[in-house]
Amino acid sequence: MHTRRRGSSGSDKPAADEPPEWSDVDAEDIEDRVVELAEQGYDPSQIGMKLRDEGVTGTPIPDVKLATGKKVTEILEENDATSDIPEDLYNLMERAVRLREHVQQNPQDYQNKRALQNTESKVRRLVDYYRGDELEPDFTYSYDVAKDLIDEE
């Protein structure tokens, strides 16, 4: 919605029904590694990249869902290792806090004022989306709330 011009193009993941033959790691080992990385403070997307790059016992895991039948977030939910705020909302709130602090120091930076407005608008829409399921029903976004949540984690 608030992107530059016409969106972005990128590569698509190849359609596959089962993991490749060379990646034959046991699903339980993968789940243990996912929980271990979460306890070290990694987000679900970072966990997926670490498993892709480093793997489990030296064997890369190209796709956790193909290897285990569950998404990274599902594995974390089963093991009670999820964070209080969804990852996408947390990242947007972190960006909004950085932008707010920048705009307070640089009041003439109109481009970043606009970026702050767009980012906070995205945050409010996501809060509406997650409210009740993953957030408290009375949760509302404000700079102070976001600052406290980010400083907390």
pLDDT tens sequence across 103-136: 999 999 999 999 999 999 999 999 999 988 888 9
Q: Is 135 helix (H, G, I), strand (E, B) or coil?
A: strand
Residue with tokens 């009375």: 138
DSSP 2: -
pLDDT tens sequence across 15-42: 788 878 887 888 899 999 999 999 998 9
pLDDT tens sequence across 59-83: 888 888 888 889 999 999 898 877 8
- Residues in a beta bridge with 59: 56
- Tokens linked to 27: 């699903």
- Tokens linked to 81: 């290792």
Q: Which stretches of 1-153 are assigned E, i.e. beta strand?
A: none
- What CA–CA distance (Å, rounded) separates 131 from 69? 28
Nearest in space to 56 (alpha carbons), one of 79, 28, 80, 78? 28
